[in-house]
């Protein structure tokens, strides 16, 4: 079986593929995107997930496809939750048969 690499957080891609590639500071990137420096910094340092709003801003400003960015974030999130799947303790839902009770007639 081929071992798959863990998906990249969208913030890593934005950091290296956009902000650093354009030689922007976090402050300049935030200004271009119309967000706070803190909001961009948290994304670039993978402390927050990419939101649809941020993905749209990145598409409008830098031409990066919004759905591609969102799929990247979703793949990362799925891999992260799969790693802790054993810690999620739930049981499958089993439906009980529906029994007919006395019919009520509405007047």
pLDDT confidence band for 33 (50 / 70 / 90) = very high
State how far the Cα of 4 lies from the Cα of 8, in Å rounded to an integer. Answer: 12
Per-residue model confidence as pLDDT tens digits over 49-102: 999 999 999 999 999 999 999 999 999 999 999 999 999 999 999 998 887 766
Q: What is the pLDDT of residue 103?
A: 63
Between CA 102 and CA 107 the distance in angstroms is 16
* Per-residue pLDDT tens digits for 6-27: 899 999 999 999 999 999 999 9
């Amino acid at each position: 079986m081929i071992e798959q690499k863990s998906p990249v957080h969208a913030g890593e891609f934005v950091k290296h593929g956009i902000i650093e590639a354009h030689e922007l500071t976090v402050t300049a990137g935030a200004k271009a995107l119309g967000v706070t420096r803190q909001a961009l910094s948290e994304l670039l340092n993978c402390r927050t997930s990419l939101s649809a709003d941020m993905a749209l801003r990145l598409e409008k400003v830098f031409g990066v496809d919004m759905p591609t960015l969102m799929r990247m974030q979703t793949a990362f999130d799925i891999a992260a939750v799969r790693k802790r799947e054993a810690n999620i303790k739930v049981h499958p839902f089993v439906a009980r048969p529906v029994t007919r009770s006395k019919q009520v007639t509405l007047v």
